[in-house]
Structure 1
Amino acid sequence: MNELMAYLDDGKEWTIDQLEIDKLDCINYAFAKIDGLNLTRELKKIHLVNQIKVTRPELKTCISIGGWTADGFSDAVQTDETRASFSGNIIRYMRRYEFDGVDLDWEYPGMDTAGIKATPDDATHFLAFVKELRHQLDEAGAQDARDYRLTVAVGAAPALLETMSPNGAFDYVQYCDYINLMTYDMRGSWTHLASHHSNLLGYTAPNGTLSAQESVNYMLAKGVPAEKLVIGSAFYSRNWTGFPAGTAAPLATPAESLGDHTSNYNELAPLLSAHPENVYWDEEAKAPYYFDGHRFSSYDDARSMAAKAQYVVAHGLRGLMFWESSLDLTGTLVDAAAAVFAATR
């Protein structure tokens, strides 16, 4: 069965009745932070989700650990002793909030791009840590008569995929239930070229190769089973502004700005509705964009969500996930993907 999975930020503004939880199979609850060998953050709203699980026990929840700029992984997984202690503390935190598993979001082993500590041995230590955490989760599951999940969020680009594993062997995958491919932010704050950031397929442009499909194919070529792959979608846009006068085809056109400004779908929806003449569909990339002569926005909409869900079904993938649930309280994007999966069940 294909699963629809949401990341949900404890710190964002939302109420439980605003979320399309009845359409979801799993919630990755973001984020717990690392303090030494412990997890920190007093979660404010997870009890609201847990109340839903009383009547929907098939809904799973995982505590997502880390996130962009979140430090602490490198030190916590350096030795057998620290890995064992850290894993035990993760399980205590998981049990405290009644989660069904753990999602690891280390961005990224061996890379200090996000301003975190990184060492050449991070990937080796990560593999040993995932093995230890899997072992402890299985022991906890036997004690609690539950199957605890272990998942990992990874970047979309080949360099980000490779940094997760020593020698490119991807051995860590065997200890995971599935892998969340963050196939969004594939282009953005580092380029002036107006670009798709959450495209399903590659497209004809100087920087158009990277796509959800390329990430999937890369993992498959490494021997990762299709049923362990989850592709990602974005409930927000990446925006570029400032184009030469008369620009008619903005894709891959240099803008004055970088793609570092974002708009959530709650903000986008009224704009798209008010100006349908500025909304376009790129059939090659299977992705929409907005362009009004000054602003270019790349985002996911109902059509691209449905296309991604159809791709998941057609290629036997585990599912589709998105960042982040509160960024679309209209229900439009969840409904589009859920309808595709419902038709196959």
Structure 2
Amino acid sequence: MAELIAYLDDNTNWKTSDLPVNQLTCINYAFAKFNGFQLVPHLKKINFINMLKEKHPTLRTIISVGGWGTEGFSDAVATKESRHTVIANLVSYMKRYNFDGIDIDWEYPGDSSAGIKSRSTDSVNLLHFLRELRTVLNGLVNSDHPRYWLTAAAGASDRLLNLMSPSSDYTYMAYLDYLNVMTYDMRGSGTKIAGHHTNLLPYNAPNGQLSANSAVQTLTTHKIPTEKIVIGSAFYSRDWFGFDENIQKPIGKEAATFGDHTTAYGKLRELISAYPQNVFWDDEAQAPFYFDGHRFSSYDDPHSMVKKAEYVLDRHLRGLMFWEYSLDRSNTLINAAANVLFKQPKSR
């Protein structure tokens, strides 16, 4: 059975009654961060999730460590001694909050674009870290807890996927149960060229080759089993503003602003509902967009969620994940994917 995995932020506005637990296989709880070699913060809402787990024993919960701009990874994995300390603290944190595993979200090894420390040896040290952490997690298995999961998040481009691995050999995948590929934010931040940010397929534009499909092709070319690949969807748009008045289709065209602005899908739905004439489907990219002559927004909608879920099944991938649950508390996007992945709602 394919997976539907939700990233859930401890700091955002949600209630357990909002969560469609019967439609999910796993919650990646975000985020634990480094304070030196310790893990912080104290999680405010995890007790609610643990109460849900008592009612839904098949629901898996994983603590996601890191996120964009999170400092500390490079130092944490730099030496055998630091890795030993960090792994002990990670496991302690995982067990304190009753998680079933750990998700490593380092953005990105060997890269300081997020303003974090990096080293040329980061990917080598990451490989040691994942091997050692996998060994420790395997040693914790017992009759009460027959498995502890180890996953990671990675960017979708070849460059970002290669940053995870020394010599681009992807050896680290041997220690992961699966990889959450962030097939969103593929365009937007730092560019005024409008484009799809979470498209399933490539499209004909100067910057249109990167897609969920291209990331999957890169991984399978490196002989990564499809059952270890999870693709991503976005519960938010990336928005560009200000276009030449003669532009009919803005994809691949320059806007006045960078695509740094984002809008939660829950809010975007109001705009889409009010101005349906400005909503379009790009069959080449298998992705929707909104364009009113001034604003261009790229996002996932129910149609694209269905297409991604069908792709997961057709390619025998591990599943589909999304960032982040509270951005669409209507469950419109979750339901669209779940109806394909599970054919019918999972039993409560």
TM-score (norm 1): 0.98
2:338 alignment counterpart: 338
Q: Deviation string for 1:154-209 (max 9, x for gaps)?
A: 00011000011000111110000000000000000211111000000000000000
SS in 1 for 2:28: strand
Whole-angstrom distance in 1 between the partners of 2:70 and 2:22: 31
Counterpart position of 1:32: 32
Q: Which runs of 5+ in 1 are unaligned?
A: none
Measured in 1, the distance between the counterparts of 2:145 and 2:263 equals: 43
RMSD (Å), alpha carbons? 1.1
Aligned to 1:180: 180
Residues 234 and 300, structure 1, Cα contact 8 Å, conserved in 2: yes
Structure-2 residue corresponding to 1:326: 326
Q: Which residue matches 1:165?
A: 165
* 2:287 maps to amino acid: A
Secondary structure of 1:74 counterpart: helix
SS at match of 1:317: coil
Which segment is superposed worse, 72-81 or 13-22?
A: 13-22
Q: Which amino acid aligns with 2:134?
A: R
1:75 aligns with 75
Distance 1:58 1:241 in 2: 44
Tell which deviates more after alignment, 289-298 or 17-26.
Answer: 17-26
Rounded to whole Å, the distance in 2 between the matches of 1:233 and 1:89 is 31
For 2:262, the equivalent position in structure 1 comes to: 262
Distance 1:158 1:144 in 2: 40
Given the alignment of the two structures, is residue 296 of structure 1 paired with residue 296 of structure 2, yes or no? Answer: yes
Deviation at 1:305, TM superposition (A): 0.4
Q: Take 1:74 and 1:200, find their aligned partners in 2: how far apart are those partners?
A: 32
Q: Distance in 2 between matches of 1:223 and 1:69?
A: 30
- Matched residues in 2 for 1:23 and 1:149: separation? 20
Among the aligned pairs, what percent are the same residue? 52
Question: What is residue 65 of structure 2 aligned with on the other side?
Answer: 65
Work out the CA distance in 2 between the residues paired with 1:31 and 1:330: 23
Is the partner of 2:141 in helix, strand or coil? Answer: helix
Is the CA contact 1:19–1:326 (under 8 Å) kept in the aligned structure 2? no
Which residue does 2:8 correspond to in 1?
A: 8
Deviation of residue 144 (structure 1)?
4.8
CA contact (8 A) 1:306 1:336 kept: yes
Q: Please, which runs of 5 or more residues in structure 2 have no aligned partner?
A: none
Give the AA of the match of 2:261. H
Q: Match of 2:271, SS?
A: helix
Q: Is the 8 A contact 1:230 1:320 kept in 2?
A: yes
How far is the alpha carbon of 1:146 from its aligned partner? Answer: 2.6
SS of the residue aligned with 1:322? strand
TM-score w.r.t. the length of structure 2 is: 0.98
Matched, 1:271 2:271: yes
